[in-house]
C-alpha cells in the first residue's frame, strides 16, 4: 500500500464588508515563511497570542492564484492523476455566490 501524506495549509481571508462595518478587530496574524498562525484574544491583549504551526500559512495579501501555484499545481503535476485540494470553511462572500 502506498503511503500518503496530508498537508495542512491555512489562509486568513480579508475582513468582509459586514466585519468592517462592525469595526471588528484583526485577531489573526501570519508568519508565512514559517507556516505559523497567531491568534490574539482581544479581551486579553496583555497575554501572548496562541500559536499554531502548519505546513503552510498564507495571509490575506496572498492571492488564490499564488496559493494554487505553490500548493495545488505541484500535486497535479507530480501525481499525473486528478488531485483536488480540500477546503474547510467559506467566507460570507463565497456563500453569497
pLDDT on residue 41: 94
Q: What are phi and psi of 71, to 5 degrees?
A: -110, -55
pLDDT on residue 88: 57
At 18-42, the pLDDT tens digits run 999 999 999 999 999 999 999 999 8
Please tell me the distance from the alpha carbon of residue 28 to that of residue 40, in angstroms, as a whole number. Answer: 6
Cell of 20: 468592517
10-residue stretch averages of pLDDT, the chain, 97 residues long:
76 93 94 95 92 94 89 72 56 48
Tally of CB atoms within 10 A around 54: 15
Q: What are phi and psi of 48, to 5 degrees?
A: -70, 150
Give me the residue spans of the domains in the chain: 9-78
pTM to 2 decimals? 0.67
Please tell me the distance from the alpha carbon of residue 84 to that of residue 14, in angstroms, as a whole number. Answer: 24
Q: Residues 85, 26, 59, 91: is their CA dihedral positive or negative?
A: positive
Amino acid at each position: 500500500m502506498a503511503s500518503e501524506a496530508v498537508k495542512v495549509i491555512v489562509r486568513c481571508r480579508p475582513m468582509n464588508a459586514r466585519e468592517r462595518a462592525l469595526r471588528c478587530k484583526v485577531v489573526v496574524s501570519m508568519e508565512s515563511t514559517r507556516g505559523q498562525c497567531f491568534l490574539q484574544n482581544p479581551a486579553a491583549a496583555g497575554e501572548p497570542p496562541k500559536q499554531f504551526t502548519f505546513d503552510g500559512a498564507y495571509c490575506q495579501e496572498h492571492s488564490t492564484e499564488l496559493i494554487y501555484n505553490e500548493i495545488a499545481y505541484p500535486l497535479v503535476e507530480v501525481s499525473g492523476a486528478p488531485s483536488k485540494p480540500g477546503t474547510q470553511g467559506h467566507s460570507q462572500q463565497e456563500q453569497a455566490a
